[in-house]
Chain A
Amino acid sequence: MALIKTENLTLSYENMTVIENLSFEIKSGDYVCIVGENGSGKSTLVKALLGLKKPESGTIELSDGLKQNEIGYLPQQTDAQRDFPASVFEVVISGCLNSRGVRPFYSAREKKTALDNIEMLGISELKNRSYRELSGGQQQRVLLARALCATKKLLLLDEPVTGLDPMVTSELYEIIERINKSGVTVVMVTHDMQSALKYASHTLCLTERESFFGTTEEFLQSDMSNFLKNGENGERSGEDD
């Protein structure tokens, strides 16, 4: 069943149209990667899916009982966050905020949800540590646990592996895959084409000229993937990864 369905979606950023007439459908259990060049509208699309940006035209429809505030969002980290004095538990449980309305304190059930998610991500021993003392990979796990507190259905990850070393990156991908297998739909914006193609069931590729949505296999056979892969390789040839 469709969890998110967009039809003829047009989005603009600072009065420039970045996405035009985009239609796609994400089903429960999918693992969708959004790839594309810088400036192709990936971040704008994320904002729109979160309900923080109104489409110029077209529609975004959430169904299957998914509420707007029930998307587990993993934003890109800000500088201010990296040295934030907060315990891991405080950060994770703040993900439960969407389900609580005006009540001022967390309930025992919410505390348990937070602890369960902490355990699921293998960070139990860090529970009382300070967020700012953790490594980049550990911080991402904490934020992932928080995102899971906010949702049971859909995770929306905005470039989750940026700045992580290869080892930690592959660990994080494995965790995300595990979460997906447990029944949570994953939508991930990424620059990391190879992993995107390895893990994703579906690919949404945005460029300034056209867009593609389909299964990852279909994407690999399309002209667009060749173009992008070549482009990526060309860009990277100077760097030693």
Chain B
Amino acid sequence: MIEIIREMFSAPILVRALIVGILVSLCAALLGVSLVLKRYAMIGDGLSHVGFGALAVATVANLAPIAVAIPVVILAAFLLLRLSSNSRIKGDSAIALISTGALAVGVMAVSMSKGANVDLNSYLFGSIISVSRGDVAVSVILALAVIFMFVFFYTKIFAITFDESFAKATGTNVSLYNMLIALLTAVTIVIGMRLMGSLLISSLIIFPALSSMRIFKSFKSVTICSAVISVATFIIGMIISYALDTPCGASIVCVNIAAFSVFSALRAIKK
């Protein structure tokens, strides 16, 4: 076991993947608590598909993938947020529309450029090889931004997550904070989807929050616990992925399934 961990740290690619992954897991877990409680979890899923489309098109067109994907996904995040808060258009169908649409555009782009060096599989299911030095820098900045936001605006995030109408009535700029959360979610997804794959990245947002909600009863404990679960399951998943030579994204999600089962069982026992 220790041998495996030592081996992992000797490969620069793996170290990069670990740094990016830990930071992204942390951000996803923090944002995830708010998104899940606000019933916005599917937005994360929709955004990852938009991210896939943007990355595929950018790669085929020979543009810097991250530089294209981040603004496109941020735009999509604002759009989905607006659609969800607008009761006249049903948010869930809008998400399905946008995510399948983006997926289709991405697949078309990839298949039309036979010459380009595009590995569809690694986009959909993730790979550690695709994590670049640039990703490390962006994820450090992102993580700092998310942690800063959570510490300094913690009380406001709680208020808008628990009750938007009350927060609005008492003078909190709800749409500003919603946009901030959407923006950070978008960046988290773009960075994380290289590692986790666009089909699996939303699990990082949803699983830790749901697992910790099985047991914990206050917002603070749920938030802290979900950050811990997220980082822990990521590290365990990476070790399993390395030891068994399985794809890292799927390994991490499987560890999350296990964590969720354990927490659900604990809740059942407590009752």
A interface vs B, CB < 8 Å?
50-52, 68-71, 73, 75, 78, 80-81, 84-87, 90-91, 94-95, 97-98, 100, 104-106, 129-130, 132-133, 146-147, 150, 156
Contacts and interface: CB of A to CB of B under 8 A. Distances in A.
Interface of B: 37-39, 151-156, 158-159, 162-163, 165-172, 213, 216-220, 222
Given A69-B171, A97-B156, A104-B152, A86 B163 contact: no
Nearest to B159: A94
B266 to A, nearest CB: 15
30 contacts: A50-B169, A52-B168, A69-B169, A69-B171, A71-B169, A73-B165, A73-B166, A73-B169, A81-B162, A81-B163, A84-B37, A84-B162, A85-B213, A86-B158, A86-B162, A86-B217, A90-B158, A94-B155, A94-B163, A94-B167, A95-B166, A97-B155, A97-B156, A97-B159, A97-B170, A98-B170, A100-B155, A104-B155, A106-B155, A133-B217
Nearest to A67: B171
B155 A87 contact: no
A78 B161 CA distance: 12
A75 B165 contact: yes
Contacts of B220: 90
Give the residue among A51, A71, A86 with the most B Cβ atoms within 10 A. A86
B170 A104 contact: no
Contacts of A52: 168-169
B166 A75 contact: yes
A76 B219 CA distance: 21
Given A85-B217, A85-B219, A104-B152, A91 B170 contact: no
Given A80-B37, A97-B170, A91 B156 contact: no
A74 to B, nearest CB: 8
A104 B151 contact: yes
A74 B39 CA distance: 21
Contacts of B222: 85
A150 B39 CA distance: 26
Contact of A80 (B38, B166, B168, B218): B38
B37 to A, nearest CB: 6
Contacts of B155: 94, 97, 100, 104-106
Contacts of A80: 37-39
A133 B151 CA distance: 27
Nearest to B40: A80
- Closest 8 A-B residue pairs measured CB to CB? A69-B171, A130-B217, A98-B170, A87-B218, A73-B169, A75-B165, A50-B169, A86-B219
Give the residue among A73, A133, A150, A156 with the most B Cβ atoms within 10 A. A73
A95 B162 CA distance: 11
A84 to B, nearest CB: 6
Nearest to A73: B169
B170 A95 contact: yes
A73 B159 CA distance: 13
B171 A68 contact: yes
B39 to A, nearest CB: 5
Given A80-B38, A85-B217, A87-B217, A98 B171 contact: yes
Contact of A104 (B153, B165, B213): B153
B268 to A, nearest CB: 16
A104 B171 contact: no
A70 B167 CA distance: 11
A146 B170 CA distance: 11
Given A84-B37, A86-B162, A69 B170 contact: yes
Contacts of A71: 169-170
B160 to A, nearest CB: 10
A129 B217 CA distance: 8
Give the residue among A68, A80, A104, A129 with the most B Cβ atoms within 10 A. A80
B163 A75 contact: yes
A75 B154 CA distance: 22
A4 to B, nearest CB: 14
Contacts of A133: 217
Nearest to B158: A94
Contacts of A86: 158, 162, 217-219
A68 B162 CA distance: 21
A147 B156 CA distance: 16
